[in-house]
Structure 1
Amino acid sequence: MSPLQFAAVFLFISAFDALGAAASTLAVSYGDANTVCGIVAEQKKQRIQCWRQNRTVDILPEVSFESISGGRNVFCGVRSGGYSLICWNSTFVPKRIYYGKDALLTNLTVGDDQICALSDGTPNLKCWRDDDVLAKLPDKSATFSGISAGLGFTCGVLVNNTVTCWGGNDENDTISNFIENEFVGLKMLNIVAGGEFACGFNLSGFLVCKGKNDSGQLNLPMSNSGYEYEYNAVALGFKHGCAITRINNSVACWGGKGEFSSNVTDGVSFVSIVAGFNYTCGLSASNFSVICWGPGWDNSSYSLGVELSLPKILPGPCVESKCECGLYPQSQTLCSGNGDICRSCDSLESFPPVSSPVVYIPSPSKDLKKGFLILAIVGCVGGLLAICTGIYLLWTGACFGHKKIHSSVQPTITRNSSNAQHSSTSPPSRSSTIRRQGSRVWGRQRSGTSGVFSRQRSGTSAKHADRAEEFTFADLVAATNSFSLENKIGAGSFGIVYKGKLADGREVAIKRGETGTKLKKFQEKESAFDSELSFLSRLHHKHLVRLVGYCEEGDERLLVYDYMKNGALYNHLHDKDNVEKSSSLLNSWKMRIKIALDAARGIEYLHNYAVPSIIHRDIKSSNILLDANWTARVSDFGLSLNGPESDRDYRPMKAAGTVGYIDPEYYSLNVLTAKSDVYGLGVVLLELLTGKRAIFKSEENEGTPISVVDFAVPVIMAGELMKILDPRVGQPELNEAEAVELVAYTAMHCVNLEGKERPTMTDIVANLERALALCDDSHGSISSGPISIISQ
């Protein structure tokens, strides 16, 4: 496949392609939009901040990183200490793909087909994600001193200074073999991959380029004296290269038909440079600002160069280890006292050390200066894959206030909203939607986000005779021993639930509407009864509670369901007797994920397959019941509404739900969509992870009530999920760690403040299916499964 064909194939991703880069404190990523990211200086945490489309974006989790690398629609970062690797997609959703304190990562490169890193173990090459590429890795016993990913191929320098390259398909193999053969007989200190060429420093410290030369990408520039420049660092794009000269740390570029020179770089000294498909960015040595230039930059008026509005970027990683050759100037200030930036042992006094992975290595040649820096900042095409997991901040303060409470296992709120004003400004979004690709594709919810919502009223009970049995009141009195307290097992949207045994021996659950003489209460009971009867008489799904029959006699309204032997999920998580038990079947991460998946499938059926679609409006752990086989089923449709039938903007007359579970956007703006059910399920997922109620009293804040959303989301975003997991289940095993993380990131997106930023139920089912599969994955937290993340 030619480069032009390659670009055409991926036109659906972006109008631009990009080349990945070896890890530095500065990285670029192409694809959906030009993105430049850096590790911020002068802060306690060496966090990452990115620039895209004239705005800066804070990247989560806000933890310290030592190096980053970018490719197409993805960039990755090695956390300080080297024990963890996190990657982000084009919407900045994070996903950890490596965790291991026994093999710390030392060098990272991101390409269009794979992510590779070196570790301090032997052998030390680790790669992820693309099976075609992984199948063609070099000898697994090989030990590398450097690696770099390019456009469909990757090259590395072995410890004996020879170059080896490999690709992910037949054409890439041809390119990689060609480039590898070009370097045969040469001893190299490092290698940097570009489009269809590669460059590196030889043992004498001179830059050598090999490969195709159709745009002059092998024609290194000459100084005025006619000699080649001596360089400190190099970055390669598709058909161009740029390097920092040793003379004054200025940038010299070549190839690309001369389109990569820029007046904005004249007289500027650079610490490091990185290249995208057809542009270059550099970190200024004077003020640590980022300057980008080239024909592929966002705006044609910027093609000659622009300084980005990023804060100061670190010129090198902040490390805790001792610096053998002294500290970089202002090291303590730049690292804010949290580590030091080391000066290169062979750098000149006038030359600032560059960020990792640009490494100075003493040259064996006595005719040369004491040493040259190696290991380049690369450009190579970013990944087809994008990574999971994800990120945003949210709160649920809107859930509190004056509310009317319905009878239920937990308080349910109903608020008149006929006078409420619909704000034209939506609540601020803190994130984008995460999706991890499982066995399903991401689909748009069929229920839509606007239109007329209505209860499907039953009319006469005869309409349901073909689907549900009609019982006499006397039948149900006998079944429940006159509705004795001993048979009471819970409460629902409009009444008390009793266990019963019918005359034919069937065990059932019977919900009896509250008795009372007030007209309003009767109307509410009638409405909830009609709603459940009409919905459940036409719904048949493994993960929805089955309606057996009903009774309408005088003022009595009763519904009869299959009996769920193992009760409500709420009771297993929160009832005192169950909380004190440690042997429950639910004290397993695999079982909790399975229950979450069961419930999600039931809700997905309501949203996507019921005709018309249904919005439940009261998703909570007490409405998720467990049968004798521990299969989860969604119950209680007393507050449910039909989905929209048109695109008209419609605000229901009243908002209904349960404290701690109700969608803040629905409650505050009266905007009801299927995403309101998604919010409720997100709260249930957080309950399953933490063991906390939706609203609980915090011991740390003197018993002040706090929502599980406010409790869990900031901790998950900080990358410290393990601190808040339910101690009854304990820390996940190695093969469960990624599954639990995936559930946590999914939950975070479900409870986003803004409905349009939440995933659909199809998205959630796909994530939970993948999480359940990971529980049986022997590869632990390094998954080989494909991941994609897209916005709604």
Structure 2
Amino acid sequence: MTTPFSAVIAAAILFLVAVFPLPPSANALGGSASTIDDVYGSPSTIAVVYGSATTICTIAAGQPVQQIQCWSNGRVLPPILPTTSFDAIAGGQDTLCGVRSGGFSLLCWNTSFISKRIYNNASAPLTSLTIGGTQICGLRNTATNDQNAICWRPAQIPNRNLNFRVISSGLHFSCGVLEIDDRVLCWGDDQGLSRSIQLEFLNSSMANIYVGARHACGMNNLGFIVCRGDNSSGQLNIPTNSAYEYRALALGTNHSCAIRRSNRTVVCWGGNGEFSSNITDGTSFESIVAGLNFTCGLITKNFSVICWGPGWPNQYNSSGIELPLQRTLPGPCVDTPCRCNIYPDSQTLCSGNGHICRPCEIPLPIPPSVSPSPSESSRGLRRGLLVWAIVGSVGGVVGICSIIYCLWTGVCFGKKKIHNSVQPTLTVSNAAQGSGSNPPSRSSTLRRQGSILMRRQRSGTSSKHADKAEEFSFPDLAMATNDFSFENKIGAGSFGVVYRGKLHDGREVAIKRSETSPKTKKFQEKESAFESELAFLSRLHHKHLVKLVGYCEERDEKLLVYEYMKNGALYDHLHDKNNVQKNSSVVNSWKMRIKIALDAARGIEYLHSYAVPPIIHRDIKSSNILLDANWTAKVSDFGLSLLGPENEKDLNYRPMKAAGTVGYIDPEYYGLNVLTAKSDVYGLGIVLFELLTGKRAIFKNGENGDPVRLVDYALPAILAGELDKILDPRVGPTDRNESEAVELVAYTALHCVHDEGKDRPTMTDIVANLERALALCEDSHGSISSGQISIVSD
């Protein structure tokens, strides 16, 4: 149904687009300019690295993790940081950089792919990345939603307080278009060249800019391509130039290329007449990027990458080659609404994690004209200022209408869909807005509600749990366990001993009984653990969390009743002396071990992302991962669990004291008393190492050897590419599919145990990786033999 308000909004948007369509940006030398906002274009997902070796890198499509894949010297290289998602990449001379999902971190590599983080700022996300030669620059969003430029090497921005619309870097200099007046500003190592280029653009009002070696091109506000600088190879001689004829540019050392707006084919000029795009005739492209003397493009038909030009290595066919890479994303995957259109088949390209927005492209109905003169450019500037005045007026009216409509209908305060996405949304508006300009967030609103719920659960008598769990009498539970006989003892938890029992109605249960010693401090801690488990489990319901059946509080007796987990703890299957020598155990298959890891990760993800308020377990370890009759893994023992901090951005959340188990406890939490959800991630990383190696979190190296931390044992082997040397021999050798799956689990574990929590993946990232690893095992020969086991995906 169309409301009057929506009609006003639609009319306003159509008016703005009609009078002032903004063309998208593309890539300059080395895969440089890439902007986040879909008005100007999507981030670059292709990069060219030139220098000691020609390398083409892209961001792979159709995978839960948006990993970087590279081709170099005729072969496909192993994925770079396969457990980390990226949104944009750019390349230069022997340098590749990638913007991690969310824009808050920038990683760069040399030709040996040794990484170095050169930007990490949780308050100012990167919205653009550009590399040319050895220059690395970007735009970052400020608290006022402006875009400041920042350069790391070697040249610095003349004035860091200036706000830019777009920037681009070439071989010797960089340029940007100022937001305030559409003027071009240039800087770089060659100050004479950059000043000369800037002066040549002095009378041009530009929408974007792209930089090559000694020339620059861009689209002005009338939609014409304007090129300035060196023309010794004809790189400024645009074949045809009507208004809004082109939608993207890529500039090399002495050539230029552009994508036609009408049919997305590529036309190139310059290169002393040697550069020809005849081999691409009739081929539609999504984006293009230039090397020194060749160009690469992303083909619309199948999202493959093709390269061509006189500088393309002859041994790889100088007439062009379709690189043997997986499909490439045409843009970042986001879960926010698109300003214009969505790419077809976005769900497949993003592996169900969001969609890809097409850049807004609605050409003006301006008849073809000759190349613009300086006077035309001046008129364009006046026209642009007039348009922005109209835009501001209409925008103000629409904004007021939006506020009135939201307050009237209450729609702005409705429920917000929770996305199970690998990457955060990378949009300028969401990444940098202060809390004062946003409506109450889902987390802050629901956490307040959850805090009230938890206070209710933690106060009053035991009747407070009557609607959540069944209340038992002590005699009934004593009878169920044969008076808590030693034969029925099956383990111990955070506050007591666990017994196997059978209720009068035939149900098998596990009963945890608190040790009673009122005079000791331990009693207070155990009482707190009892209340914690009861409060949490009475409201948590997930198939990968152990279910609470009921409880008992009589005099000094405190007991919890759980569902019975027939196959016990994961720890016992991996480390118990009775199981160590068993090669026929169901757990001794890579597929089963990965499934167990995935089950546990899903349970923890629920605690972090979907429980309201979020919960930090604080004691993730293999003995707290239990297996039911169908070998489904479930997380147990919430005696140490705590609610997450009231402010989800508060990374200095400090509980009373560090708690956990030696070997699994987060070193950042233990040493600095800083607790976040990433502390659980560390514990799960140790569990993943246990599943891979079959060794305890701390073990002795030899019968009389010193204790060794599993982290210190596993990390060097994984980093050295010697994973096979540390794999549990009880499972047996891996086949081809299993080998890839196990390697993915190993690298996931490696990232989970980073010393700093901010460098660890989220549980959603981990779940995505383990889902992919399990899928790789589906066709492997190491299938699970037990007919009772059913593997069901959420």
TM-score by length of 1: 0.49
Return the structure number with greater helix share. Answer: 2
TM-score, normalised with respect to structure 2:
0.49
